[in-house]
Amino acid sequence: MSRLSGAHGGTIPTVAVALSAALLLAGCSGGSGSGDDASGAGDPGTVTLVTHDSWALDEKLIDQFEQESGTTVEVSAAGDAGTLVNQLVLTKDAPLGDAVFGIDNTFASRALEAGVVEEYTPADLPEGAEQLGGALTPVDQGDVCVNADEAWFEESGLDVPTTLEDLADPQYKDLLVVTNPATSSPGLAFLLATIGAFGEDGFEDYWASLVDNGVKVADSWEDAYYVDFSGAGEGGERPLALSYATSPAFTVSEDGSESTTSALLETCFRQVEYAGVLAGSDNPEGARALVDFLLTHDVQAALPESMYMYPADAAVELPADWQKFAPQADAPFEVDPADVSEHRDEWIERWTETVVG
């Protein structure tokens, strides 16, 4: 490392030249494509929202907020939910923006402990949202559950499994694919489901029985769903795959009468996604307004379409396909967020020991 740091010892003027030249070039390319780069995080008329790479909200809604509030919204997205939180922790002293969306309940305590978010919840949380609450503002939720390829089970004559225990039953040998909790957020959620179900001392035995029963572990959701899951129609061979409770709404038959897959609602863990105001924000007022905006009816109603999540507001009507094919679990497994925060890494290590060896 010394050689590296030595390299920029005596070249400060050149560094400045190179830096400005590079920036000039970069500026010419209009890297952001938005055209109004001059207004940055320091501008009080601007709110920068830091979020994860699943962010996709209709531009029209954001335009509406900008018109009503007179602020400009800039969105910055990087990595998955875990990456997002870790980036926020790293940049605590010089925050990346003003507001954050997408911290989930498996990472929320890390963000709160590190002090990267101010505690803020709007005064009038919509119906249903208050029970998801805490220090942060719940915006949406989704269940991670094992999905089944209905057609496959119909053909094979096997009953579709329903519980976590069923998955370890030898008659379902070599049928399940899940994802790695160390690299994928549904994988972590499912690990938590098994900890919720079998306890901190029992989950390893359960996973050992899954391993004996031929469970396959893929690295990411897309890998498990598109390559291994037979229900995705891409030639996969396993009729049971870890996905979301909403996934069956995306495998609806041509005539819309039925879905070729279903979610096993007794295998679920509920993810809740929060928004918050970043500590040290230049524009906390604007950030709070943006958090409030995420709970308005229009945004809540758009969430299923744009982010594949259930709105936090229980009064919002769900799309027809969802009502029919994507019910939520009645009693998802739960783990105390404080425990998650304290033991997450250790649990993943123990999982790795058991499953990977």
Partner 1 sequence: MDRDSRGLSRRRGAAGSAHHGWSRSPSLTGSRGHGLRPAPLLWGAAVAVPLGFLAVFFAWPVAALVVRGFVPDGALDLTGFVEVLTRPRTWRLVGLTLTQAVLGTAFSVLLGLPLAYLLYRRSFAGRSLARGLVTVPFVLPAVVVGVAFRALFAPSGALGFLGLEESLAGIVVALVFFNVSVVVRTVGGLWERLDPRAEEAAASLGAGPARVFRTVTLPSLAPAITSAASVVFLFCATAFGVVLVLGGVRYGTIETEIWTRTTQFLDLRSASVLSILQLVVITAALAVSARARRRREAALHLVSARRSARPLSWRSPADVGAALAGTAIVAGLVALPLAGLVVRSFREPDGSWGPGNYLALGTTGERNALVVTVWEATATSLRIALTATLIALVVGGLVALVVSRRPRSVGARRAIGTLDGLFMLPLGVSAVTVGFGFLITMDQPVLGLDLRTSGLLVPVAQAVVAVPLVVRTVLPVLRAIDPRLREVAAVLGSGPGRVLRTVDLPIALRSVGLATGFAFAVSLGEFGATSFLARPDGATLPVVIYRLIGRPGAENYGMALAASVVLAALTATVMMVAERLRDDRAGGEF
Minimum CB distance to partner 1 smaller for 132 or for 294? 294
Question: How many residues of this chain interact with partner 1, rule: CB under 8 A?
Answer: 96
How many other CB atoms sit within 10 Å of the CB of residue 262? 23
Each residue 156-175 as x (binds partner 1 by CB under 8 A) or -, in order, gives: --------------------
CA distance 225 to 245: 13
Minimum distance, C-beta of residue 226 to partner 1, in the bound complex (Å): 6
Q: Does 193 bind partner 1 (CB under 8 A)?
A: no
Beta bridge partners of 143: 270
- Listed ranges 12-20, 134-142, 150-158, 292-300: which one lies at the site for partner 1 (CB under 8 A): 12-20
Q: Does 45 bind partner 1 (CB under 8 A)?
A: no
For partner 1, which residue of 64, 69, 72, 76 counts as binding (CB under 8 A)? Answer: 76
* Residues of this chain, 202-231, that bind partner 1 according to CB under 8 A: 216-223, 225-228
Minimum distance, C-beta of residue 341 to partner 1, in the bound complex (Å): 12
Nearest to 299 by CA among 285, 313, 319: 313
Taking the alpha carbons at both ends of the chain, their separation in whole angstroms is 34
Q: Does 87 bind partner 1 (CB under 8 A)?
A: yes
Q: Does 151 bind partner 1 (CB under 8 A)?
A: no
For partner 1, which residue of 27, 115, 199, 214 counts as binding (CB under 8 A)? Answer: 27
Minimum distance, C-beta of residue 217 to partner 1, in the bound complex (Å): 5
* Residues of this chain, 279-338, that bind partner 1 according to CB under 8 A: 305-306, 308
- Listed ranges 50-58, 157-165, 193-201, 287-295: which one lies at the site for partner 1 (CB under 8 A): 50-58
CA distance 93 to 305: 35
* Residues of this chain, 95-114, that bind partner 1 according to CB under 8 A: 96-97, 110
Minimum CB distance to partner 1 smaller for 166 or for 269? 269
Minimum CB distance to partner 1 smaller for 85 or for 139? 85
Q: Does 345 bind partner 1 (CB under 8 A)?
A: yes
* Residues of this chain, 242-281, that bind partner 1 according to CB under 8 A: 243-244, 246-247, 250, 254
- Listed ranges 69-77, 118-126, 160-168, 193-201: which one lies at the site for partner 1 (CB under 8 A): 69-77
Minimum distance, C-beta of residue 58 to partner 1, in the bound complex (Å): 6
Q: Does 342 bind partner 1 (CB under 8 A)?
A: no
Q: Does 86 bind partner 1 (CB under 8 A)?
A: yes
